[in-house]
């Protein structure tokens, strides 16, 4: 490249490219006929035009006995432009591109060190083109997979063809992922060194593009799995319907029986789990509440009932269990107070009066605190069954502190 005029070389490349593109446009109809068929029809081509197309490597003849065919690269170019999924190739040759990138980076650094700024710009331009081509091949391959999901995979009617198409797409995804894994950014960082232009091109920009490709491939895999699961569901339903249609054809007089009225249901139909209905007492109805209380009192007492723990008896237990025993005894006594409120049939009951009348040995303050805590610990639905009123006075006109002297508890009967 350094031995001749760079501008003259670039001009010759442009002229040759324009001539070959003009050949493609001039003979577009004949070339598309060759794309659709096995061979290119020669009726509309003169000998001069045929020789020019062969020299430009647009057409080629495999041997003397066979006809003229489209060059493979031209066929791939047409398939890419038409997005013809039956002929597009999901391919991204990363290894060759990376080797070329390493060579171009070395040439770029040599030109930079030698002060050959024009050659340096040319090498940087070629690097950009190679990176763009690499990203473009990945993008085209992923786009081809998406189109295949919405065409070949989406409209295959047989399960075997669907599975084979799915395996083919999965293998192509694996090949693309293997190609992406070949790009080692640690190597690229070491290769570009401190050059800002190379770092922006081969590290930050390429990494952003690869992240987008990884995300797209994950979406393709998710879509593949979703379509396969949906197809299996449709396949199972269609097989059920087809089986039923075949059975009705063999038994035209078949009438489904009323299985709900049978005492012995066939095992094929009897698939539902038995229903265990849940029942509960309606405490918001006065009649049910009274009936529940009467049934509770009529329950037979156990033959051997453990001796309840009282406040005095808790002190005789070992020291490590005294606190738990006293708390359990206090809780049981408060539960007895609540049962007494239920037995009063809607009449309010004072907590301190019950404490003094039952000869319980709890401190009044602890007793009131446990009665209030027991009420607050009830579920909302059970709290509505009681009405708790606190007998309290204001400690001082200078603050809003109230002292609780007693608690009135009443069963809330429905109106």
- Reading the block at residue 171, the tokens are 């293998």
List, in order, residues 6 or more apart from 31 with CB less than 8 Å away. Answer: 24, 40, 58, 70, 74, 78
Cβ pair 88, 141 in contact under 8 A:
no
127: Cα separation from own chain's centroid: 38
- Is the C-alpha dihedral spanning 327, 330, 334, 340 positive or negative? positive
| H helix or E strand, kind and range, residue 210 | helix 206-250
φ and ψ at residue 71, rounded to 5 degrees: -65, 145
DSSP 122-151: HHHHHHHHHHHHHHHHHHHHHHHHHHHHTT
Q: Name the 3-class secondary structure at 407.
A: strand
Q: Please give the Cα distance from 383 to 371 (Å, whole number).
A: 13
Give the model's pLDDT for residue 335: 87
- Reading the block at residue 245, the tokens are 């249609």
| Gap between the terminal Cα atoms of the chain | 105
Residue showing tokens 């590290």? 203
Give the model's pLDDT for residue 249: 92
* Residue 115 backbone zone (phi > 0: left; psi -120 to 50: alpha; other: beta): left
415 residues of the chain, pLDDT tens digit each: 444 566 676 777 788 778 878 887 888 888 787 777 767 777 878 888 888 888 887 887 766 666 777 776 777 777 767 765 555 555 556 888 888 888 889 888 888 888 888 888 888 888 888 888 888 778 878 887 887 777 656 556 676 777 777 778 888 888 888 888 888 888 888 888 888 888 888 888 888 888 988 888 888 888 888 877 877 787 788 888 889 899 999 988 888 777 677 777 767 766 777 777 777 777 677 777 777 778 877 877 765 544 555 555 545 556 656 777 888 888 888 888 888 888 776 678 888 888 888 888 888 888 888 888 888 888 888 888 888 888 888 877 777 787 888 888 888 766 5
* Total residue length of the chain: 415
Q: Please give the Cα distance from 339 to 295 (Å, whole number).
A: 14
Give the model's pLDDT for residue 366: 86
DSSP 30-58: HHHHHHHSSS---TT--HHHHHHHHHTTS
Q: Name the 3-class secondary structure at 232.
A: helix
């Amino acid at each position: 490249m350094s031995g001749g005029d760079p501008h003259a070389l670039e001009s010759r490349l442009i002229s040759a490219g324009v001539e070959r593109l003009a050949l493609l446009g001039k003979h577009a109809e004949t070339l598309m006929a060759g794309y659709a068929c096995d061979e290119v029809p020669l009726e509309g081509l003169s000998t001069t035009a045929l020789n020019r197309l062969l020299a430009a490597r647009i057409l080629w003849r495999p041997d003397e006995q066979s006809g003229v065919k489209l060059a493979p690269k031209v066929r791939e170019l047409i398939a890419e432009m038409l997005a013809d999924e039956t002929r597009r190739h999901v391919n991204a040759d990363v290894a060759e591109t990376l080797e070329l990138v390493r060579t171009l980076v070395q040439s770029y650094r040599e030109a930079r060190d030698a002060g050959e700024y024009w050659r340096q710009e040319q090498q940087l331009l070629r690097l950009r083109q190679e990176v763009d081509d690499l990203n473009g091949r990945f993008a085209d391959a992923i786009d081809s997979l998406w189109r295949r999901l919405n065409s070949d995979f989406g409209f295959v009617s047989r399960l075997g063809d669907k599975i084979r198409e799915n395996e083919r797409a999965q293998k192509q995804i694996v090949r693309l992922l293997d190609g992406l894994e070949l790009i080692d950014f640690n190597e690229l960082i070491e290769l570009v060194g401190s050059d800002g232009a190379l770092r922006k091109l081969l590290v930050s920009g390429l990494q952003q593009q690869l992240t987008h490709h990884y995300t797209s491939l994950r979406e393709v895999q998710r879509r593949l799995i979703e379509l396969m699961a949906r197809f299996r569901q449709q396949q199972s339903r269609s097989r059920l319907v087809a089986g039923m249609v075949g059975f009705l054809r063999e038994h035209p007089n078949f009438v489904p029986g009323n299985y709900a009225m049978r005492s012995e249901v066939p095992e094929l139909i009897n698939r539902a789990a038995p229903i265990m209905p849940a029942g509960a007492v309606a405490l918001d109805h006065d009649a049910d509440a009274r009936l529940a209380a009467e049934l509770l009192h009529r329950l037979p007492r156990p033959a051997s009932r453990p001796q309840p723990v009282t406040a005095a008896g808790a002190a005789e237990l070992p020291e490590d269990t005294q606190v738990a025993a006293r708390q359990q005894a206090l809780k049981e006594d408060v539960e007895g107070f609540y049962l007494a409120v239920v037995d009063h049939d809607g009449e309010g009951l004072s907590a301190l009066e019950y404490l003094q009348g039952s000869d319980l040995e709890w401190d009044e303050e602890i007793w009131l605190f446990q009665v209030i805590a027991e009420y607050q610990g009830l579920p909302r639905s059970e709290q509505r069954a009681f009405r708790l009123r606190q007998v309290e006075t204001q400690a001082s006109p200078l603050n809003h502190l109230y002292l609780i002297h007693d608690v009135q508890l009443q069963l809330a009967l429905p109106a």
